[in-house]
Structure 1
Amino acid sequence: MKLLDPTTLPEWLPPHSLQWYEQLGRLEGKYQYSWKSTYTNPNGESIFDEEVASVIRNKKVLDVGCGHGEFTMQCAKYAK
C-alpha cells in the first residue's frame, strides 16, 4: 500500500507557517494553546530518561546538539 504524500494536495499548508496558524484559527474560531499540558508517570519521556540513564551509567558521554543543556545536566549525574 502506497501512502499519500500530503504535500501534493492543493490545500497543503506547511505546518507551523503563518498560513497554517491562520487556518487553525479559522477552523477553531481562535488559536490558543495554554502550554499547561500534564502527563502522569510513567510516560514516554520518563521511560526514555530511565533507559538513557541505564545505558550511560559510568560511561563517558558526548552529547552532540544538546540545545540549552537541560537533558545533558540531568544525565551528568549518571555518566562519568
Structure 2
Amino acid sequence: MQLTDPTTFTEWVQPHSIEWYKQLSDIQGKYIYSWNSTLTEPNGESIFDKEVTKTTVVRKVLDIGCGHGELTNECGSVAKEIIGFDVTAYKLG
C-alpha cells in the first residue's frame, strides 16, 4: 500500500488555518466543534475550564481564540462582561 502525500492535491488546505476553518464552515453550513474527547472527566481540559470560569466571576473578559465559543458561553454566565474573538466567521445559534 502506498500512501499519497495530501499536500500534493490541488485542493489541499493546511489544517487549522483560516482557510481550513472556513472550509469546515462551508461544508457544515456553520462552524461547529465536531470532535469529542474520549477521556472521561475529570481531565486536563475540564479542570482548566473550571479554573478559568472561577477566575472570570464579575470580571470583564476577552477570550481570544474562542473557536466555537463553548468556554466563552460558560464564562458568560458569571462574568461581568465577556467578548469572544476568533478568526473563524462563526455565529452562535
Q: Tell me which of the two structures has the higher relative contact order, counting C-alpha pairs closer than 8 angstroms and 6 or more residues apart.
A: 2
Bigger share in strand: 2
> Scaled by the length of structure 1, what TM-score is found?
0.49
User: In terms of Rg, which structure is larger?
Assistant: 1
> Scaled by the length of structure 2, what TM-score is found?
0.43
Bigger share in helix: 1
